[in-house]
Structure 1
Amino acid sequence: MNRPRRARRRATRLLLTLSLLAGLALTSAACAEEPPPVVSVLGPWTGDEEESFEKVLDEFTLKSGITYDYQGTTSLRETLLAQVQAGSPPDIAILNSLGELTEYAHQGVLVPLPEKVRERSPQPWAPELTVRGRKNTYWTPVKVDLKSVVWHYPGRSAQRGDWCVGMGSGATSGWPGSDWIEDILLQRSGPAVYEQWATGELPWGSPEVREAWETWGRLIGGGAQADAALSNDYDGSDHKGLLKRSGDGCRREHQGSFIRRLYGKDITYVPTSKAVAGLHNERGAYEVAGDMAALFRDTEGARALLTFLTGDQARATWAKAVSERNRPFFPVSVGSYGDAWANRAVNETLTGARRLCADASDAMPPGIRDAFHRAVLEFLAAPSDKKLLSGLLQQLDDETLRHRELLTPRVPSVCAAPQGGLYGAVK
């Protein structure tokens, strides 16, 4: 992010704070009023995504008189862990890892959600945990995405080996491949098998899981395409999306609904089950992900902000603050999509789902998730090598066993029927 933009936003927040202080001074006989509380928020959004989210936070400040201090970072896990270990966590942190959140909850670091927020926190994004013998919900989705998605140019016929794959990103590598394997397993074997595997009850070496890896290996193939996958970032070298590349036969991309922010109306999407031969989504199940907000400090301001973020006003403000193709999805609808080019299709898919399943690697303990991502990268070196795959799956089973022996807490469930039936953003 450039410095002038950050300076302008900080100046805006300062003006808001000064205006609030001036109002307090006018309505009080005392000149030494206490300053309004400040809520610290740590989240994943930087650049233009940070700008749009801060418009929501500004709306909260105007409404409540509570100011905020938002820190956006692409190294969210490391930053949050360092702050927690130093005894100075943010009031609210927003992250997508259910596995990390589960560990924080069992460590006693998280505060259970206020009742009003808990009522707005649907599964599979916010499962109920049993911690120290008591059931509670510890995080709530503020933004969600559909993962069972393939993007393509309409009218271009599909060909073998024409998949766009970029395994790297600014924060971590491997997750675009784990998304592929997870989605194939869900579409081929159904939500019951998927949930058993995601929660550690089904071995990595089971026939269903192995077949998902092998199916992805056949789709990607080896040689130049696998090499390109290992050397590319998921958003392309120019940060405009892999489908915008030319001259390499890249025509289709399996990526979450968030990727539409990089594309225009010339690119559309279909569910994975319609794009990959042999996948038949007869169960109406789709993989989803989300950005979850959790309370690390039990303050009045933090509770008020969390309540605001899960309400219609915040969602409407957020949706209107960005361009049509960058509008976020929410766990409930706050309006209609109108004729938005891809938004309506994503919304209809989620609306028609019979089962939604959280991203499996997000739900795994961090150690297993990281091992999964590393295994995906190693697998791409030789996707047709059955001996290599057997070794990788055994390593993942060994890592799972190690965490079981350490009594590492796990998310109890990852699949659920949609609650409310509507997902979306305002027109």
Structure 2
Amino acid sequence: MALPLGIVGVAALALTGCVGDAEPGASEEPGGTAAPAEGCEDYADYGTFEGAEVNIYGTILDEEANRLNESWADFSECTGIEVVYEGSAEFEAQINVRVQGGNPPDLAIFPQPGLLASVAGTGSVLPAPESVVANAQEFWTEDWQNYGTVDGTFYAAPLMASVKGFVWYSPSVWEENGWEVPTTLDELDELTATIAESEVTPWCVGFGSGEATGWPGTDWVEDYVLRTAGPDVYDQWITHEIPFDSPEIVEAMDRVGDLIKNPDYVNGGIGDVSTIATTDFGEAGLPVLDGECAMHHQASFYEGFWGEGVTVAEDGDVWGFILPGTEADAAAVTGGGEFVGAFSDAEEVVAVQTYLSSDLWANNRVSLGGVISANSGLDPANAGSDLLQSAVETLQDPNTTFRFDGSDLMPGAVGSGTFWTGMVDWVSGADTESVLAQIESSWP
């Protein structure tokens, strides 16, 4: 863990022990000299605080929220800081409401760099303290640091990460039917047509996500733009150097439509194409387990949605492969992540923010299962399954062509606005050209 002396830029945290039984006569107050309590050695440099509370607001819900709370349990016990997490499916809208109403959280876990940029533009997000900057420089690549930077100011260190574009499937169902993992997009198309001739529906898909409904559809399009048009076009698209409705984007989106707007190919175990718009993304892949659909497109974090007792392994209940490229062995992937921004510079807030940017937190959280991180200090062996270990190795592989989730980098009005709603319109029957033209006209 990198924790430089002078943990905060505004007020240095004392290098003290953890909450617990101290040596006789030793102080337990911040600034004291108590030796770390047993098991708290890793947290000694963060200081001790009596009755301190830090609230965090984010989009992480359900079991993943439980694991998030568990990831800082030892930190809380050792420092005395009570970390109170509030998750909301309406975060994207409500964070602005809370900021404008003068009631921001101490820390916010932003799921999109574009949203971070828009909120930081109000002047409400504080620049990252020195200790967070140091951790970011040690454990995160320049690209990942840039995602948390707005107009040259570094505000937010990355937290978790995901490799997008996994295609999840049941190994036993595939073995029974003799289906093999495709190595190109053309082979995927051929496999989809073959599966459609069986008693299993090829795909199950869900775009539902509360006020964020539509984002799973943007992931499909981004994956196909990167693979069919290449990284240069992808970069030009997300920065609006080319129009949103450029021919390359139309082609990629139509190719997605050939799969998930085809009534013969969806929506296994759920209904017809119309159900995609309303099916919650967290539940959309579950028919894979029952053999009602053959494939589900979703990020590495979806491992945490399969439920208790489900084995993720090549010979287990469920497994996944990365969506292939136009040629075999293509090494281009999209991914996402969260970023922790602060609205308070209180000592206890900076202590929590620094911990969340460390390799210690990354290893603690990943070892609990379900997620990964692009933190270079993460030991891939701590990932909860072979699939997640492979995802970590993909992120750490210098030969991987990695591009951050496009909608997350676009201006909020588009990335978490018209692009999301446009995908719902599109899967509900609107044609590609009109949807993309409408999104193009909304670009600020």
Q: Shorter chain as normaliser: what TM range?
A: 0.7 to 0.9
- Corresponding position: 1:172 with 2:212: yes
Overall identity of the aligned pairs, in % = 25
Which stretch shows the higher mean deviation, 85-94 or 113-122? 113-122
| Cα offset, 1:76, TM superposition | 1.4
Change in Cα spacing, 1:24 to 1:232, as seen in structure 2 (3 Å) is farther
How far does residue 78 in structure 1 lie from its aligned partner after superposition? 2.9
> Of 166, 173, 182, which residue of structure 2 is paired with 1:149?
166
Q: How far, CA to CA, are the matches of 2:327 and 2:423 in structure 1?
A: 21
- 2:129 is aligned to 114
Deviation at 1:327, TM superposition (A): 4.5
Change (3 A) 1:355 1:29: closer
CA distance in 2: counterparts of 1:297 and 1:313, whole angstroms: 23
1:43-83 Cα shifts (integer Å, max 9, x gaps): 22233222221222222223333332222222212332222
When the two chains are superposed, the root-mean-square deviation of aligned CA atoms in Å is: 3.0
In 1, the alpha carbon distance for the partners of 2:400 and 2:406 equals 18
Shift of 1:89: 0.9
The alignment's TM-score, normalised by the length of structure 1, stands at 0.76
Deviation at 1:153, TM superposition (A): 2.4
d(CA) in 2 for partners of 1:334, 1:129: 22
Following superposition of structure 1 onto structure 2, how do residues 35-74 of structure 1 map, counting pairs within 5 Å? 35-74=50-89
SS of the aligned residue for 2:380 comes to coil
Paired residue secondary structure (1:235): helix
Secondary structure of the 1:236 match is helix
Distance 1:25 1:78 in 2: 51
Superposed counterparts of 1:26-425, under 5 Å: 35-118=50-133, 119=137, 120-127=139-146, 129=149, 131=151, 135-154=152-171, 155=175, 156=177, 157=179, 158-160=191-193, 162-223=202-263, 225=266, 226-236=273-283, 241-247=286-292, 250-263=293-306, 264=311, 265-273=316-324, 278=326, 282=330, 284-320=331-367, 322=368, 324=369, 326-337=370-381, 340-352=385-397, 353-369=399-415, 370-382=417-429, 388-400=431-443, 403=444
Secondary structure of 2:338's aligned partner: strand
TM-score, length of structure 2 as denominator length:
0.74
Distance change >3 Å, CA 111–CA 102, structure 1 → 2? same
Structure with larger RCO (C-alpha < 8 A, sep 6+): 1
SS of alignment partner, residue 304 of structure 1: helix
Q: 1:96 to 1:185 in 2, by over 3 A?
A: same
**CA displacement at 1:21 relative to structure 2:** 9.5
Shift of 1:360: 0.6
* Per-residue deviation, residues 173-229 of structure 1 (Å, max 9, x unmatched): 111111000000011122221111112222122111111111111122333632232
Shift of 1:305: 1.1
Give the paired residue count. Answer: 363
Decide whether the 8 Å contact of 1:166 with 1:242 is kept in 2: no
Following the alignment from structure 2 to structure 1, what is the Cα–Cα distance between the partners of residues 343 and 283? 35
2:380·2:393 contact (CA, 8 Å) conserved in 1? no
CA drift at 1:99: 1.0
Specify the SS of the correspondent of 1:270.
Answer: strand
Q: Counterpart of 2:96 in structure 1: which amino acid?
A: L
Question: For 2:28 and 2:205, how far apart are their aligned partners in 1?
Answer: 64
